[in-house]
Amino acid sequence: MDKNSLFHSQWKNPNYVLSTKAYYYKTWQGYQMPSLHSHSSIEVMYVIAGKCHIEIDDQCVGLTKGQFILIDANVPHRLLVPKNRSCRMLNLEFGFVLNINSPLDLKRMIDEERHLLVFFESAFTYSVLHDTDMVYSTLKKLIYYLDSNHRKNSLNIQLLHFQLLIDIAYLWKDAIAYAKNGSESHVYRAVEYLHQHYDEDIKILHLAQHVNLNENYLQRLFKEQMNLTIIEYLNRFRLEKAAMFLIETDYTMMEISDMVGLNSRQYFIKLFKDRYAMTPGVYRKSKGKGHGHEMSE
C-alpha cells in the first residue's frame, strides 16, 4: 500500500493528526485537464454548483451539486467539465503529520468512533458520496479558520480536520448500507435530494423522476422506511433549519421562512406552531435571541 494512502496502517499509531496541504475554490468553464495527474495528498473534490466528470481508474465518474469524490493519495485522475458548461468546486488536499504535542490523535478518534474504524479497515482508490450538508459545512469552517489562522495545526483546526473525516466516514458507511438494498437506495437518494433542495419548491413528481421511480411507488416506499410522508419529512427538515436560523442568526422571520422554502408567512407560522407549540417569534425569545426582527404573528 502507498505510504501516503489514507488507509495505511501507520496512521493508527499514536500522535498522528491531519494536516491540510492545499485548498481552493474555483469555477471551471468548459475545462478539460490535459492529462492524468496525481499527488501525494488525499483529495476531496466537492461540487458546489454545476456538473463535472472525473476520469479515474479507467472510468469517467459524474459529479453534480452536493456530491464529492474522495481520492486516495497517488491515484491518477483528471477533471473534465463539458463544453459550454461550468462547475464550481471546493478542493481540499490533506495528509497526516506527526504531532506529539496534540491532545488528540487519529488513533484515539478511531478507538472512540466505531464507524471510523470500519472506514479505515476498508481500502479503495476513490469513493463518490452524496452530502447531506454536513461535509460542506465542515469544509467551509475549516477553510475559514485556515484562512484566518497562521497556526495551521492549532487545536480548532485539528478538531475540524477530525470532524471532516468523521463526517465522510458516516456518509461512506450509509452509502455502503443503502447500496445493499435497492429500495433503501432510492429512499436515500430522495432524502439527500430533499436536504439539498429544501429551499426550493419541490414537486413529488420531480423527486420521483430524480430517483427514477413511479411517483406513487416512491411515496409508498418512503412512508414504509421513514415512517413519514415525503411532505411531512420535508416540512420537519425545513422547520429544524428554521429553528436553527432563529437561534443562531439575526435574520428576520420573513427571511428565514423564505430561506427554508416556506414562502407563505401564514403557512410557516402554522407549521412552526404545530411542531414547536409556539410561534417563531416566541421560540426565538425563549432561546434568548430577541433581536427585534419580528413579523406579524
Q: What is the pLDDT of residue 200?
A: 92
Give the position of cell 433581536. 291
Q: From residue 233, give the alpha-carbon distance in Å to each of 72, 91, 131, 194.
A: 35, 32, 18, 9
* Fold assignment, 182-286: Arc Repressor Mutant, subunit A (1.10.10)
CB atoms within 10 A of CB 60: 11
Q: Which residues pair with 18 in a beta bridge?
A: 96
As annotated, the residues of the chain forming the CATH 1.10.10.60 domain(s) are 182-286
Q: How far apart are CA 44 and CA 51, in angstroms?
A: 16
What number does CATH give the domain 9-179? 2.60.120.280
- What is the chain's pLDDT, residue by residue, as a tens digit (297 residues)? 788 999 999 998 999 999 999 999 999 999 999 999 999 999 999 999 999 999 999 999 999 988 999 999 999 999 999 999 999 999 999 999 999 988 889 999 999 888 899 999 888 999 999 887 789 999 999 999 998 876 667 888 999 999 999 999 988 987 777 666 655 678 888 998 999 899 999 999 999 988 888 899 899 999 988 999 999 999 999 999 999 999 989 899 899 999 999 988 899 999 999 999 999 999 999 987 654 444 445
Name the packing angle between helices 230-248 and 215-226 (round to 10°): 60
Q: What is the pLDDT of residue 153?
A: 72
As annotated, the residues of the chain forming the CATH 2.60.120.280 domain(s) are 9-179
DSSP string, the chain: --TT-TT-GGGGSTTEEEEEEEEEEEEEES-B-SS-B--SSEEEEEEEEEEEEEEETTEEEEEETTEEEEE-TT--EEEE--TT-EEEEEEEEEEEEE-TT-S--HHHHHHH-HHHHHHHT---SEEEEE--SHHHHHHHHHHHHHHH-S-TT-HHHHHHHHHHHHHHHHHHHHHHHHHT-HHHHHHHHHHHHHHHHTTS---HHHHHHHTTS-HHHHHHHHHHHHSS-HHHHHHHHHHHHHHHHHHH----HHHHHHHTT---HHHHHHHHHHHHSS-HHHHHHHTT---S-----
Q: From residue 23, give the alpha-carbon distance in Å to each of 50, 53, 139, 251.
A: 19, 19, 10, 30
Cβ burial 196-205 (10 Å sphere, 16+ → b, else e) = bbbeeebebe
Q: Is the pTM of this model over 0.85?
A: no
